[in-house]
Amino acid sequence: MSVDQDTGQDRSGGQLSLHNDWFSSGWSSYLPRHQALTLCMLFGTATVRGLRGSIDDVLEQQFHGEPGRFFGRVGDTLDSPVAWMDADALDYAETDEEKNQLRADAEEHQARCEQLLRTAGLPVPTTIRELADTMLAVGIATRHGDAWSMPERLPGPETVLALTDDERARIVALQRIWEGGPAERALIDHLVDDLNRPAEVFTSVDRLARATDLDEDDLRHALGRLVQAGDARLERGRGRERPALDDLKGHERFHLVLDWQHFEENRIFVA
């Protein structure tokens, strides 16, 4: 089970848990964003803490009947309407024209997502409670009797909705961004902790993969992210040509040149 991201304390003093796949799954683009996120947290917390009963029972156990702004607005309950646009979105608009455009975009997005759900034979939610039923219907969480569980990997919207090729490509790109994080972290940790921030390393893809305990595909992705961010460059041969990463065979040696000043000035680390 991958429901292990703690997201802060609730009123009961426990931790709220969020499934590791939520952001990479792509569901936030096809469900009411904030409320779907909070329901995913509720499902995850019920799974991790072993809370039992209906969704009402889980809310009572977790918040003692006082969820506050858990669903986005003070006073919201499971029977409050779903919100396809975040409550504070209009606060960032500077003109009435911008506000009207935000409303129009939200209405168009809602209509598109509702039609996708109908076409897939899924319930179209009008309340937060119905949104929970929709999320259960697509397999984001499951209730067996009184016990809650979530799958190791969340089924993505592309598995049930009739998405366009462009939408599927965006989900794949999103997954690569989120899932590439651990591989990039492993590579950076190796360069910092094991090699003490070298100016450059004469190495190969297969050597780096072994050193970081990554498979070559993940290592290439992590290297590519460093190069794309401007933190590193690849050089090869006496003339120090700059090869494309995809052109390098696993055993071919190259110079990995690091720009640690750029790395420090352009990275934000979140713990």
Q: Is the pLDDT of residue 268 over 50?
A: no
| Residue appearing with tokens 């918040």 | 63
Residues 38 and 143 in one domain: yes
- Say yes or no: 148 and 238 in one domain: no
pLDDT attached to residue 12: 44
| The pLDDT of residue 9 is above 90 | no
Is 19 found in the same domain as 150? yes
* Ramachandran assignment for 65, one of left (phi > 0), alpha (psi -120 to 50 degrees), beta (any other): left
Quick one: pLDDT at residue 5?
A: 46
226 pLDDT more than 60: yes
Least confident piece of the model among 24-28, 94-98, 151-155, 209-213: 94-98
Average pLDDT of span 257-266:
84
Give 76's pLDDT tier (boundaries 50, 70, 90): confident
Which tens digits make up the pLDDT trace of 11-64? 444 578 889 889 889 999 999 999 999 999 999 999 999 999 999 999 999 888
Are residues 148 and 250 both part of a single domain? no
Residues 94 and 193 in one domain: no
163 belongs to a structural domain: no
- Answer yes or no: do 151 and 206 share one domain: no
- The whole-number average pLDDT for the span 169-190 is 79
H-only helix segments in 140-267: 165-179, 181-189, 205-212, 216-229, 260-265
Lowest mean pLDDT among 25-34, 39-48, 93-102, 153-162: 93-102
**Whether 143 and 189 share a structural domain:** no
Together in a domain, 149 and 91: yes
| CB 150, CB 49: distance < 8 Å | no
CA 189 – CA 191 distance, rounded (Å): 5
Q: Select from 140, 111, 118, 155 the least CA-distant residue to 35.
A: 140
Same domain, 117 and 244: no
- Please tell me whether residues 131 and 195 are part of one structural domain: no
227 within domain boundaries: yes
Query: Do 236 and 151 fall within a single domain?
Result: no
Domain count, the chain: 2
Residue 2 has pLDDT above 70, yes or no: no
CA 117 to chain centre: 21
Q: In the prediction, which pLDDT does 184 show? A: 84
CATH number, domain of 191, equals 1.10.10.10
The torsion angles phi and psi of 88, rounded to 5 degrees, stand at -100, 10
How much of the chain, in percent, has pLDDT values that exceed 90?
56
- pLDDT, residue 266, reads 63
Judged by average pLDDT, the poorest of 105-114, 136-145, 166-175, 251-260 is 166-175
Q: What is the pLDDT of residue 177?
A: 64
Least confidently predicted of 8-17, 148-157, 178-187, 226-235: 8-17
Mean pLDDT of 196-206: 94
Range of the domain at 189: 181-265
